[in-house]
Amino acid sequence: MSHVAFVIYRQVYEDGHPIIDQHDRDLGSRVALRVYTDRATVLARLAELMRVARRTTNPFAFYNTAGTPEVLALGVSWRAAPQAGWGDEELIRWYDGEVPHLTDEQREKVWSLFDAQPLFGIREVPLGDG
């Protein structure tokens, strides 16, 4: 009988960015966090990890894929809107100042900008016959 294990992994970052090659391709650097044998359990744990990360982590510190135009396109009424031409450091400071005033819905909108590259994921690993 063939079995599958489910490994929760965390994306690896260097200087706040995923590790990529000279052609901007993700090198697949991941850190295994825990192994599960039950699909429902691993999905619940992954959802909890993402909930905590979205409450406690500044996404702009890890990703450079979203800038001021994308943030403004969310349609959120910010206390202080980000300014055109801001780079990573300005967006990091802006989010740190803004996040205490965000609702859960607003925070989810910001994090939706980074859904293409989540902090955590699941990899299925086939186990030998046993």
- 61 and 106 in a single domain? The answer is no
- 48 and 36 in a single domain? The answer is yes
Burial category of 107 from C-beta neighbours within 10 Å (exposed 0-12, middle 13-18, buried 19 and up) = middle
- Could you read off the pLDDT of 79-122 as tens digits, one per residue? 988 998 888 889 999 999 999 999 999 999 999 988 877 889 99
Segments forming the whole domain that contains residue 1: 1-65+117-130
pLDDT of 66 higher than 80: no
Distances (CA, A) of 65 to 8, 61, 62, 87, 111: 23, 11, 9, 11, 12
What is the predicted pLDDT for the residue at 37?
92
- 52 and 71 in a single domain? The answer is no
> Running DSSP on this structure, what letter comes out for residue 65?
S
- 61 and 71 in a single domain? The answer is no
- 106 and 128 in a single domain? The answer is no
Mean pLDDT confidence for 68-81: 89
- 103 and 122 in a single domain? The answer is no
- 57 and 87 in a single domain? The answer is no
What is the predicted pLDDT for the residue at 1?
42
What is the predicted pLDDT for the residue at 16?
62
Number of domains comprising the chain: 2
Query: What is the C-alpha to C-alpha distance for residues 1 and 85, in angstroms, rounded to an integer?
Result: 57
- 126 and 105 in a single domain? The answer is no
- 2 and 55 in a single domain? The answer is yes
- pTM for this prediction: 0.76
- 85 and 105 in a single domain? The answer is yes
Query: What is the C-alpha to C-alpha distance for residues 118 and 42, in angstroms, rounded to an integer?
Result: 16
- 59 and 71 in a single domain? The answer is no
Mean pLDDT confidence for 69-75: 90
- 3 and 32 in a single domain? The answer is yes
